[in-house]
Amino acid sequence: MTRIPFKQTCAILLLSVGLVVFLDQYTKYIVVETIRQGTVVPVIDGVFNLTLTYNKGAAFGMLSGVSDGLRQLLLGGVTALAVCVVLYFLFYDYYHDRFAQMALGFILGGAAGNVLDRIRIGEVVDFLDVYYRNYHWPAFNVADSAICIGVVFLLFRSPAKRKDLPVTEQ
């Protein structure tokens, strides 16, 4: 397969990262300006609400009970490692695949959106509340959604499924 020119790869990445960061930060701004923390705004009864919450931890509140310094160190280290892995995939495993490059941009954009919150206010703004009866999925945001969508897209574009790689039998 042919390599996509570096400028096109960067353009795809920057467009997808920029789109995710813009949508994430814009929706967070609207929610923070219009909904008070803890207020529940029903959108689809029995399934989906808007509820402003703040998350000091990682995804789904993990690490929220850890001291601030250790939490920041762990989150910063994991984020830096994730960015390095995404960039490696971008330029070595998915150099031929625009769709996968866009998916990697979604992942980087989601990470950037949440990092901006941590830098700006020290915690991440979450507001999407999906639930069924009394079970509520932990609140999340557009950045979290973009990361998940990017990962799902990549599952369908695994580098092991590329036609230019040899297939080994066991």
What amino acid positions are annotated as catalytic residues?
126, 144
What sign results for the dihedral spanned by CA atoms 124, 130, 133, 137? Answer: negative
| Residue 71, both tokens | 């939490």
- What does residue 128 show for φ and ψ, rounded to 5 degrees? -90, 120
Q: At what angle do helices 98-121 and 68-88 cross, to 10 degrees?
A: 160
| Residue 20, both tokens | 């995710």
Closest CA to 24 of 130, 108, 129: 108
40-44 and 124-132 strand pairing: unpaired
In the chain, the amino acid numbered 110 is: G
Q: Tell me the C-alpha distance between 43 and 103, whole Å.
A: 28
